Amino acid sequence: YTGTARVSDINDVDNPNYITLPACSGSRSVIDDVEDWNDNITLGIDGVEVPAPEDMDSFSDGEYWQRADTRIVLRLLATGLPDTTNSPTGVEVVDVNGDNIPEATNAIHDATCPGGITQGATNYSVGTRGPNTSSKLRLFREYQFNSSVNSYQRTLEVDMRALLNCMHRFPDILDGKLLNDDTEEGLVFFFAIDGPLSNSTQNNYSVRIQNGSELQSNISGAETVKGLTLVTDQGLVIWGDYNSTGWVPAALLSDTLWLLSNSWTDADSNLPNAYDRDGNATTVFAAVLAGVARTGGANGIAGQDHGADSNGGGAINVFRFNEWFRIGTTGNIPDFTYEGSIVSIGPPRKSQSTWGPFTYYSAPNRDWSFEQRFNDADLLPPMTPTFVYLRQELFVRDYE
C-alpha cells in the first residue's frame, strides 16, 4: 500500500473527520499542542519517583508506617533493656502516632495466644532477645566489624504462625480488620524498635521472624491471608523456611536482610569456629527490598582501591549468611532456594559492615530465580511500588 496516511479525531470509520497534522521535515519534532488528540496524548507527565529509604521509616509520615495494618514495636529503655511499662515483653501494638493501643498490646500477650518466644515461664507470639538473655543472637558479619556494639543483637522476636493465630482471635491487633483483608491487596505488618540506637548508623537492632514457612493461621475456620508484606527500618532476620508452603504474594522490606537456616540454634552464636555452625537447606519465596553495602563505601571509581576487606558483597549477598553451609571444608553444599525479586534502593543506614573478611560463613548453593507469578499484577505483594509506562510506537490502519 502506498499513499498518504490520515488521522481522524473521531471514532467513526464510515464518516471520519480527518485532521491536518504538523508538517514533517523528516527529523524529530516536538508536539506541544495535543488538543486535537482527544486526550489520547498527555504532556507534562511527572517522572517516575523510585521509593526512598525514608519511605520505610518508623514513627514517620512514610507510606509504609502510615498505611500498615499493624505496627508492632519493641520499646527499649536508655539502658537498652526492654521497657515493660505497657507489656511483659516490652513489645507493644501502637497507632500511627506511636502511642500504645492497650487492648491490642494486651491481646498479643493473652494466654490464648501462645507461641515459640519464651520469656520467663510464658510462651508468647512476640518477645525479645538481647545481650542480657540466656538465648541470644550474634550476627558474625556485624560482630567482626564492631564487636563492642554488635557482640549480640537486641531482637524483636516474632513467631509468625502464632501471631497470625492471635490476630484471628483478636482482630484489635489489626485495628479491627480480619486476616483476609485486601485493602492493600493483602496485609502489611510494620515492625519497629524504639530505643537509644534506633537511628544510629551502626546498631545491634534486628527483627527476627521464625515459624514463617506457611503464612496462614492454622486455627480451623480462620480467614485466608491473601498476601503479606513485612516492613522494618532495622535489620530483618529470616529464620528458616519462609512462605515455602501454600505460597501467597509476600515481600520483605528492611535495612538489611539476614538468613538463618532451618538448623540454626542460638547456641551457635557462642561457637567461635565457623565450621561448627552448620547450615542446612532452606527455602524463601518472597520479594526483597533491602540495603546492599557499597564496595569502598561509594559507587563507581570512588569505591575502588580501598583494600580487600572493603567489598560490600554485591547483589548475591543481599541475604547475609551466618553459618557454614557445608560439612567441614569439602563436604556437600546444601541449597538455599529462593524465588522472588531483589531490589536495592541504596546502602544500609543502620549497618556499615563490609562483606570481608568473610571467614565467618560459607555460602550455600544459591538456587535462585525470579518469581514468575510476579508477572501477573494481581499476584504482586501488598503495597508493591508500581507504575505503567506506555509509548506509542506506530499507527496501524484498521480495515473493516
- Tell me whether residue 181 is exposed, middle or buried, using C-beta atoms within 10 angstroms of its C-beta: 0 to 12, 13 to 18, 19 or more: buried
Confidence of residue 19 (pLDDT cuts 50, 70, 90): confident
Residue 95: per-residue pLDDT:
99
Residue 49: per-residue pLDDT:
79
Residue 310: per-residue pLDDT:
82
Q: Which structural domain range is residue 240 located in?
A: 53-379
- What would the grid cell of residue 71 be? 505496627
Residue 301: per-residue pLDDT:
84
Contacts 24+ apart (CB under 8 A), 85-92: 88/119, 88/120, 88/122, 88/124, 89/117, 89/119, 89/124, 89/126, 89/127, 89/128, 90/128, 91/124, 91/126, 91/127, 91/128, 91/156
Confidence of residue 45 (pLDDT cuts 50, 70, 90): confident
- Provide the domain count of the chain: 1
Mean pLDDT of 121-131: 96
Mean pLDDT of 48-52: 80
Residue 6: per-residue pLDDT:
79
pLDDT for 297-340, tens place per residue?
A: 888 888 877 777 788 888 889 999 999 998 766 678 999 999 99
Residue 225: per-residue pLDDT:
99
Residue 29: per-residue pLDDT:
66
Classify residue 10: in a domain, yes or no: no
Mean pLDDT of the chain: 92
pLDDT for 183-197, tens place per residue?
A: 999 999 999 999 999
Q: What percent of the chain has pLDDT over 90?
A: 72
Classify residue 267: in a domain, yes or no: yes
Classify residue 200: in a domain, yes or no: yes
Choose between 14 and 156: higher pLDDT: 156
Q: What percent of the chain has pLDDT over 70?
A: 93
Classify residue 242: in a domain, yes or no: yes
Classify residue 389: in a domain, yes or no: no
Q: Quick check: 115 and 124 in contact, CB under 8 A? A: yes
pLDDT for 189-220, tens place per residue?
A: 999 999 999 999 999 999 999 999 999 999 99
DSSP letter assigned to residue 196: T
Choose between 397 and 79: higher pLDDT: 79
Classify residue 13: in a domain, yes or no: no
Confidence of residue 182 (pLDDT cuts 50, 70, 90): very high
Residue 1 in this model has a pLDDT that exceeds 60:
no
Distance CA 126, CA 298 (A): 37
Residue 295: per-residue pLDDT:
86
Classify residue 400: in a domain, yes or no: no
Residue 46 in this model has a pLDDT that exceeds 90:
no
Distance CA 157, CA 269 (A): 16
Classify residue 287: in a domain, yes or no: yes
